[in-house]
Structure 1
Amino acid sequence: MRHVATSDRNFYDRYYFNVHDTSGGLMMLVGLGQYPNLGVTDAFAVVRRGPWHRVVRASRELGANRMDTRVGPFRVEVVEGLRTLRVVLDETEHGLSFDLTWDASIPAQLEPPHHIRWQERVVFDSRRLAQTGRWTGRIVLDGERIDVTPDAYWGSRDRSWGIRPVGEPEPPGIQVKNAGTFYWVYAPFQFEDHSVLCILQEDEKGRRLLEEAVRVYPDPEREPEHLGRLDYRPVYAEGTRDVVTATLGFHPPGGTPFEIGVTPVLPVHLMVGTGYGLEPDWKHGMYQGPETVVQGVAYDTRVPEDAARMWGMVDAVARYEYRDGSGRTGFGLFEYWALGPHPTLPE
């Protein structure tokens, strides 16, 4: 989008992908965004394997050609619209590269609008489409080639656009009085013959700001099943807001309520090093200068100083199990964050 309908500096347009094996041994997140009102495009990849959290990121001036998705060693190619995409990170000095093709398992689903006004300012006004899929290709990590095959490597992707905080810090003004809250769960996951897409956000009083739950089948002629009000019941590790297990409860209109259990297997801290807001010198849409910049950072979670960095939004590989005695088990993303007060959380 070259000229967008708003002059809000925070307008963005972004790809997001996750890649994980069904054993939970590896998870990688990839993003590529354009910020038309800031004149910047950037990209990142973060991979978690064992104790290592490794990030490669790049930024350049956006220019006029919005079809050029190259950002240094990164690029996204649309092979077949809404069906097949190729995601590439060429070899760099930072120990991570990949060439991966993503094939959709289900038709793309348009999620509800995400609109939040905080202290009179609109801070979120965005839309997103989401899909589950399978991966083919290769990942090279510290010289080791990992063959990626669709039987073992699943994932999901979204494409979002609109307004959300990006770029250089703004004067806080009244926002300094209260930074707000963020009680959130986002769970797109798949079984062999269908997928379930869940999204939920509540405010500090437990009021719902965003909510949807649908069951989607590969056949584009089959209507998605709306699963009614979503119940989200996490169990936290003592003294933390790290989710150990969770229950998702569904209430299909006119149907029988059911539950799916969630077990996070491998956490990835989405906000660490990737531009989502923790580093003052690298945020999505932040201008890094006239030349393309490519950086790499790596953390070892066995080191206390590095482990202390791991907070904020978590994108975990999770195992999902129907609690109906059928034994049906699936895998997918379990993204969660509980920031600030909420009725279900201790003071």
Structure 2
Amino acid sequence: MSDTEFHDDLVTPRTAAANDLPDRFFDRFMFNAHPVDRTGPSIVLGCGLYPTRNVIDGFTVVVAGAEQHNLRWSTELDATDWRGGGPFRFEMLEANRAWRLVLDDNPSGLAFDLTWRARTPAWVGDVEVHNSDDSTPTRFEHLVQSGLHHGWLTVGGVRTQVDGWYGQRDRSRGVRTMSGGQGLHLWFQAQFPDRSVGFLLVEDRRGGRILLEGSVMHAGGTGAGGGAGGLDPIVDVRHDLRFNGELDLRSGTVEVTTASGRTCLIDCDASAGGGFLAGGGYGGQHGRPRGRDHVEHDVYPLDGTVSPRTLDTALTDRLTAFSWDGTAGTGIFEFAHSRSPSYVYQATLRGPVRPVDWAWPSCVKSANGQS
């Protein structure tokens, strides 16, 4: 499926009424935004519609300095126009190309008006995972795409201009019921000037692979060695990650292999802190009826007292500095290390490292030496 074939607009009352939606159906999106050089605030925001539960909800997480600011909101879907709730509203300006995201004044002290425009084609796939407990399988459409944000952000009364900030978006719809048994979850989005390297990798507690999907997405829709529309699907990932005693990722190395036979070795510095998605309601709050016009907010100090081990979910979206063959990049490295005592992280990037064969600024040589 190409990005032009992906139905980018969220479900509407008419489409919901015309389809027999399963009980756990969702339709949602997530965006992140951060300066190209990793200075200044980092934003993660999202919104989801759950028509069979009459719920629309969302969140905003902003890491600024030594604090993480969190806003969570929820309301009854039939009390809205299905295009936002509480202080948040969104508009798809052009399918698979441009969105506007607005957070009005609210008690959290967070506000923004951002316009995101695509800089790469989208990777689109169908995720299907059968759970070990024979419950309803996870099955959903999934899109990721890199773009640039323009607009402004306010945190605690301080306004920051957003001018060309990197932003990865994630769109998904379907049924997601993944039950326990996961050991490691990685959603990796490394932004470089001419491409985005994005994948979703899930491993079980024995280190076996449950899921791998993603692509190298070339800016402008082209790239040497890429597939149709500038996409080069990712077919293998190896990793050597370093977590501290609180299960917080600090650094690591990731090796990506693509369908064209290229490899890319990326070093990761995840020491910036914050991005804990418990602040966005990822500990089981999404899709739960909370009544009409529910809004809550809090602040996490980033002094070590809050960590993946202490919160109700270990899932973290960390603003990370990347380095690939001497070229600097930045992006969001989402991770969750299981807190189960049955799981011990095991690096898969062991032994001789494959030679890096992605040249900068474009891929010019494949693994077999052919141009």
- TM-score range, shorter-chain basis? 0.7 to 0.9
Provide the rounded CA distance (Å) in 2 between the counterparts of 1:145 and 1:262. Answer: 29
Q: Does 1:277 align with 2:276?
A: no
Code of the aligned partner of 1:41 = I
- Counterpart of 1:113 in 2: which secondary structure? strand
Q: In structure 2, what is the equivalent of residue 200 of structure 1?
A: 201
Asked whether the 8 Å contact 2:29–2:169 carries over to 1, the reply is yes
Q: Does 1:261 align with 2:261?
A: no
Asked whether the 8 Å contact 1:104–1:133 carries over to 2, the reply is yes
Code of the aligned partner of 1:181 = Q
- Counterpart of 1:132 in 2: which secondary structure? strand
| 254-263 or 127-136, which deviates more | 254-263
- Counterpart of 1:37 in 2: which secondary structure? helix
**How has the CA–CA distance of structure 1 residues 120 and 331 changed in structure 2, closer, same or farther, with 3 Å as cutoff?**
same
- Pick from 57, 82, 85 the counterpart of residue 42 of structure 1: 57
Q: In structure 1, what is the equivalent of residue 317 of structure 2?
A: 315
**How has the CA–CA distance of structure 1 residues 293 and 344 changed in structure 2, closer, same or farther, with 3 Å as cutoff?**
closer
Deviations 1:315-335 (A, max 9, x none): 011112113xxx222111100
- Counterpart of 1:111 in 2: which secondary structure? strand
1:302 CA drift (Å): 3.3
Provide the rounded CA distance (Å) in 2 between the counterparts of 1:48 and 1:70. Answer: 23
- Counterpart of 2:74 in 1: which secondary structure? strand
Q: Does 1:245 align with 2:245?
A: no
Provide the rounded CA distance (Å) in 2 between the counterparts of 1:256 and 1:158. Answer: 25
Asked whether the 8 Å contact 2:56–2:82 carries over to 1, the reply is no
Identity %: 28
| 10-19 or 242-251, which deviates more | 242-251
Q: In structure 2, what is the equivalent of residue 138 of structure 1?
A: 152
Code of the aligned partner of 2:233 = H
Provide the rounded CA distance (Å) in 2 between the counterparts of 1:306 and 1:242. Answer: 7
Provide the rounded CA distance (Å) in 2 between the counterparts of 1:299 and 1:256. Answer: 41
**Normalising to structure 1: TM-score of the pair?**
0.84
Provide the rounded CA distance (Å) in 1 between the counterparts of 2:312 and 2:74. Answer: 23
Asked whether the 8 Å contact 2:183–2:206 carries over to 1, the reply is no
- Pick from 91, 96, 113 the counterpart of residue 82 of structure 1: 96
**How has the CA–CA distance of structure 1 residues 256 and 286 changed in structure 2, closer, same or farther, with 3 Å as cutoff?**
closer
- Counterpart of 2:317 in 1: which secondary structure? strand
For structure 2, the 5+ residue unaligned runs are 1-10, 223-228, 348-371
- Counterpart of 1:288 in 2: which secondary structure? coil
Which structure features the higher share of helix residues?
2
**How has the CA–CA distance of structure 1 residues 316 and 4 changed in structure 2, closer, same or farther, with 3 Å as cutoff?**
farther
1:120 CA drift (Å): 1.1
- For the aligned residue pairs, the C-alpha RMSD in angstroms reads 2.6
Deviations 1:26-55 (A, max 9, x none): 211111100011111011111111221211
Asked whether the 8 Å contact 2:34–2:166 carries over to 1, the reply is yes
Asked whether the 8 Å contact 1:25–1:266 carries over to 2, the reply is no
Asked whether the 8 Å contact 1:54–1:298 carries over to 2, the reply is yes
Provide the rounded CA distance (Å) in 2 between the counterparts of 1:266 and 1:116. Answer: 36
1:3 CA drift (Å): 4.4
1:270 CA drift (Å): 3.8
For structure 1, the 5+ residue unaligned runs are 167-174
**How has the CA–CA distance of structure 1 residues 244 and 81 changed in structure 2, closer, same or farther, with 3 Å as cutoff?**
same
